Structure 1
Amino acid sequence: MVSGYRFLVADDHPLFRGALKGALSGLDSACEILEAGDFEGAKALVDDSVDLVLLDLTMPGVSGLSGLIALRGMNPALPIVVVSAHDSPETIRRALELGASGFISKSSCMDEIRTAVQAVLNGDIYTPADIDLGAEGDPEVADLIQRLQTLTPQQTRVLSMLAEGLLNKQIAYELNVSEATIKAHVSAVLQKLDVDSRTQAVIRLSKIGADTIATED
């Protein structure tokens, strides 16, 4: 039974945030529920006091799985459950491969949402029932996911901040390290992603976002 957990609900639709809050409150009235309507707000609320994040794939400031990648870089131990109307086997599988602890379709009922959250809090990985996740059909995406999995949490954060357009000195300031350290991280990221420039790295990262949504349109 959940008792006193702190949840973060990140979704840009107030009505759906309300529905998720209702589902979470049904687990235990003692839980605290934080809300974010955009990705910047979600990042600002992610800290060690949050026990679980419910993350929409598409909201202002982020599109596709790049948001999941960014939050995983910020706090690798934090369980993140993706909640999305884009619920194809491809999207679910990619989310799990990139570190999500579960996936909930926006068409799920209250009981299923509660079951998913409880499973993740118990340390399990939750996927919707009766779905065959299959294998990755896009070789380029499969290669990219494998390469992203080799990044350290700090390298993942640096990559995400590159995608935001930050300069090395800005990233160094945000992460409270030297600019030389950031340059070393950038070099490692480029090598692991097998690209020659920051721009190419950002383009590769954006593919995991755009392709996830595009495969279902």
Structure 2
Amino acid sequence: MDAQYTIVIADDHPLFRNALFQSVHMAFSGANLLEADSLDSLLTLLDKEDDVDLLLLDLKMPGANGMSGLIQLRSQYPDLPIVVISASEEASVIRQVRSHGAFGFIPKSSDMRALISSLNQVLDGEPVFPEGLGEDNEELSELTDKIAALTPQQYKVLGMLSDGLLNKQIAYELNVSEATIKAHMTAIFRKLGVKNRTQAVILLQQMDINP
């Protein structure tokens, strides 16, 4: 294929990321292929690259917190086509992926022919999902909207909150004052419609998937 695509592969497993890189390189020899191994490195990369045609995203990466990583990316980069490539192939997971704005889902168990066929379909502007998934969950869609309303910094604070860090520890990690973190917390609770840290963490866990 002659088209000059820019494709980002985001996966924290070096062996799988390398195998995917080689497969995509063989199929799209002229493509500009970029890699990321965490949500932070991915966001840094996307900030620098103006014209990414496709993001291949693993749901389980450092900083991604399952589905919420996908939601954060959809919020910050609404025009970027994101295809999730995951080992979690349950219909419920794929429905969540679709309802949270992904352009497609490719199982990690796919052989190279199926993978390349799916990528061609996506690059031609056609979503790719397994058949027979049924309807998306309205409750999940509402949750998606709430998470998407957070700023990148608020999302980062929420992720650290879910990891069990205290305000003082979060302030240290982000190099800001505790008062700033408290202000972020107030805004997060308001946007999520919760009253405390525990409820916020439970809400975030509802978006997660099994490892």
Pair in the same fold by TM > 0.5: yes
Question: Which residue number in structure 1 is paired with residue 164 of structure 2?
Answer: none
Question: Which residue number in structure 2 is paired with residue 164 of structure 1?
Answer: 159
| TM-score, normalised with respect to structure 1 | 0.75
8 A contact 1:161–1:171 mirrored in 2:
no
Q: State yes or no: 1:102 paired with 2:128.
A: no
Question: Which residue number in structure 1 is paired with residue 12 of structure 2?
Answer: 12
Query: Which of 58, 64, 67 is matched with 1:65 structurally?
Result: 67
Question: Which residue number in structure 2 is paired with residue 205 of structure 1?
Answer: 204
8 A contact 1:76–1:153 mirrored in 2:
no
Question: Which residue number in structure 1 is paired with residue 43 of structure 2?
Answer: 43
**Distance across 2 between alignment mates of 1:164 and 1:79:** 24
- Indicate how the Cα distance of structure 1 residues 114 and 186 shifts in structure 2: closer, same or farther if over 3 A, else same: farther
Following superposition, the deviation at residue 83 of structure 1 comes to: 0.6
User: What amino acid is the match of 1:116?
Assistant: S
Question: Which residue number in structure 2 is paired with residue 176 of structure 1?
Answer: none
Q: Structure 1: which 5+ residue stretches go unaligned?
A: 173-178
**Distance across 2 between alignment mates of 1:28 and 1:194:** 45
8 A contact 2:72–2:147 mirrored in 1:
no
Question: Which residue number in structure 2 is paired with residue 146 of structure 1?
Answer: 141
**Distance across 2 between alignment mates of 1:106 and 1:25:** 17
8 A contact 2:8–2:34 mirrored in 1:
yes
Greater mean alpha carbon deviation, residues 30-39 or residues 196-205: 196-205
1:80-159 matches, cutoff 5 A: 80-128=82-130, 131-135=131-135, 142-143=138-139, 145-151=140-146, 155=150, 157=152, 159=154
User: What amino acid is the match of 2:13?
Assistant: H
- Indicate how the Cα distance of structure 1 residues 20 and 197 shifts in structure 2: closer, same or farther if over 3 A, else same: same
Following superposition, the deviation at residue 45 of structure 1 comes to: 1.1
8 A contact 1:7–1:31 mirrored in 2:
yes
User: What amino acid is the match of 1:28?
Assistant: F
The count of residues paired between Structure 1 and Structure 2 equals 195
**Distance across 1 between alignment mates of 2:145 and 2:22:** 37
Following superposition, the deviation at residue 4 of structure 1 comes to: 1.2
**Distance across 2 between alignment mates of 1:87 and 1:126:** 14
What is the DSSP-based 3-state SS (H/G/I as helix, E as strand, rest coil) of the residue aligned with 1:103? strand
**Distance across 1 between alignment mates of 2:198 and 2:53:** 34
| TM-score, normalised with respect to structure 2 | 0.77
What is the DSSP-based 3-state SS (H/G/I as helix, E as strand, rest coil) of the residue aligned with 2:83? strand
- Over the aligned positions, Cα root-mean-square deviation in angstroms equals 3.1
Following superposition, the deviation at residue 155 of structure 1 comes to: 3.0
